[in-house]
Structure 1
Amino acid sequence: MVVNNPYQAYQQNSVTQSTPGELTLMLYNGCLKFLNQAKKGIETNNIELKNTNIQKAQNILREFMVTLDMSQSVSESMASLYEFMINRLIEANINNDISKIEEVYALTLEFRDTWKQVIQINRQKQYGTPGEI
């Protein structure tokens, strides 16, 4: 695949050269971005912007759910949390409720920050120096 746009080439390289942990971090960041856009859609009464971005955030959360290793004890709790978040976004979409988006945003931010710390700890163990993300 030939990419003429340098930004697209950069994005493609970012994805293909990232570790699974970094890809997960990118998904969390994408989810946060989509939640912000959904909130903006409600604030500006742009139903399409709200709906599209809520669906994108829900798709990321669903992806996290299906990739959980259910043999791990924490996975059941994480699956329940992701399901709760998806249901909150359904309610936010139906009722144009920014507070529900903010609730999901806060949980996603916490998960993202925790995941970022895990990556940094693993890099420290692997390379002996703090890795900046």
Structure 2
Amino acid sequence: MFTPVHTRAAAAYKRVAAETGVQTADPHQLVVLLFDALLNTLQRARGALTQGDAAAKGAAIGKAVRILDEGLKAGLNMQEGGELAQNLRGIYEYSILRLTQANLRNDRLALDEVLALIEPVAQSWQQIKGPGPAYLQPVAAA
């Protein structure tokens, strides 16, 4: 019924650490954080699907779709990114479609397909040191 104090404190510390990390991150680090969150969320969705926990699966897939759509895809600089930005947008849109299908059909293969598409992109992004080329930077909010 009640959450122990140490559990609430740990959760609050984790939340503050995440918020601080986001507030102090440069654009490159923000994208790395988005990929990390996406991969963790996809792993949670996979676990929930395996356990038959429909609510947790749906919540995790919903969060993954939001990260893809509102974070990674929305942050693409289509004016300067050229073919690379177009290709990444295609990967993100296809991943959103497959995640929606995975959720509706309890399709583990669709979920695994998205992981197989996203993991190499995330690893490549992590290997970029510094902010990277200007055309890879997210568009600044207006």
TM-score bracket relative to the smaller structure: 0.7 to 0.9
Q: CA deviation at 1:10?
A: 2.2
For residues 92-117 of structure 1, the C-alpha deviation after alignment (integer angstroms, 9 at most, x for no partner) is 01111111111111221111111011
Residues matched between the structures, number: 118
Deviations 1:13-42 (A, max 9, x none): 211111111111011010011111111111
User: Residue 42 of structure 2 corresponds to which residue in structure 1?
Assistant: 35
Unaligned runs of 5+ in 2: 1-8, 132-142
Q: Does 1:13 align with 2:20?
A: yes
| 2:78 equivalent among 54, 70, 74 | 70
The residue aligned with 1:89 is 99
In 2, distance between residues paired with 1:8 and 1:94? 31
Worse-matched range after superposition: 6-15 or 22-31: 6-15
One-letter amino acid of the structure 1 residue matched with residue 76 of structure 2: L
Tell me the alpha carbon deviations over residues 57-108 of structure 1, each in whole angstroms, 9 at most, x when there is no partner: 0001102112211122121121111110000001101111111111111221
Query: Percent same amino acid among aligned pairs?
Result: 26
Alpha carbon RMSD of aligned pairs, Å? Answer: 1.6
Offset at residue 12 of structure 1 (A): 2.3
Q: Structure 1 residue runs of 4+, over 4 Å off?
A: none
RCO higher in 1 or 2 (8 Å CA, sep ≥ 6)? 2
**1:83 aligned partner, one-letter code:** E
Question: Please, what TM-score do these two structures have when normalized by structure 1?
Answer: 0.82
Q: Of 103, 109, 114, which aligns to 1:104?
A: 114
Give ranges in structure 1 of 5+ residues lacking alignment: 124-133
